Amino acid sequence: QVQLQESGPGLVKPSETLSLICTVSGGPITSYYWSWVRQSPGKGLEWIGHIYHTGLTNYTPSLKSRVSMSVDTSKNQFSLKLISVTAADTAVYYCARFGPWHWFEAWGRGILVAVSS
């Protein structure tokens, strides 16, 4: 059974870059779409974007100018970068895998990232 684990700093300063990695175990990273979703009290669950193992990406328009994702198939990892963060980016960030279509069939446990000086 696939397992996902987010890692990265839990505190980021305003205007800096949020960087997270998701490590996939128990299954290959190839042939799947991988996604990032965040959850904050104010905005609920928000899909940030997804990436295919080939590197093909799709980002939510509201974050598209600040977000990038990449995949490292040799390490079975994919990553999220969000630049120029503000307090509004404070949230629990989840990495997830899509099922055969784009519902989220597997999730990491989530990592709380606070944006604060």
- Where along the sequence are the contacts to other proteins (CB under 8 A)? 44-47, 58, 60-62, 94, 96, 99, 101-105, 107-110
| Residues 42, 6: Cα–Cα separation, whole Å | 22
Nearer to other proteins, 50 or 71 (CB): 50
Residues 90, 115 contacting (CB under 8 angstroms): yes
Phi, psi of 88, deg, nearest 5: -65, -15
Smallest gap from residue 103 Cβ to other proteins (A) = 4
Smallest gap from residue 13 Cβ to other proteins (A) = 26
Nearer to other proteins, 36 or 77 (CB): 36
Residues facing residue 21 across a β-bridge: 7, 79
Smallest gap from residue 69 Cβ to other proteins (A) = 14
Residues 98, 46 contacting (CB under 8 angstroms): no
Query: In the block, which residue shows the tokens 């997830």?
Result: 96
Nearer to other proteins, 43 or 75 (CB): 43
Nearer to other proteins, 59 or 71 (CB): 59
